[in-house]
Amino acid sequence: MAVSQCSGESWVDKPLSAEKFFAIVDDVDFEVDWYCSVFNVRMPKLVRQTQGKGRSFGGSYNPKLKSINYTKPYQGVILHELAHHIAREQGLTSSHEHHNAEFGRVLQEMIDMVL
């Protein structure tokens, strides 16, 4: 299965390559804080889960708690979940519509910063 299908990046024109998607983020707090400052939103709570093995895509965003949960700090997972947070904080998405064109725009902007 292609990375773009697994990560929901069908909303972007130029998804991350598999190599960049699976790159490990050394300092998740720093990276998330940096993106939040660029997009002028508050930083979400970051929760690293202990479950998940191998190339688990485990990641989720909880808008009520404003938290990003992840099993492995893969660049693609962090960006995808953070895009949910940023889009929600900017009022671009709702609880009923979390994958939309505006989410895709935010995610693409973040990916372009990596490329």
Over residues 39-58, the pLDDT tens digits come to 999 999 999 987 655 555 67
Q: What is the pLDDT of residue 9?
A: 57
Q: How far apart are CA 115 and CA 111, in angstroms?
A: 6
60 and 12 Cβ atoms separated by less than 8 Å:
no
Q: What are phi and psi of 27, to 5 degrees?
A: -130, 85
- Measured N-to-C along each axis, helices 75-89 and 101-114 cross at an angle, to the nearest 10 degrees, of 130
pLDDT for residue 99: 85
pTM of the model: 0.87
pLDDT digits (tens, 9 = 90+) for 58-100: 799 999 999 999 999 999 999 999 999 999 999 999 888 888 8
Class of the CATH domain delimited by 15-114:
alpha beta
pLDDT (0 to 100) of residue 5: 40
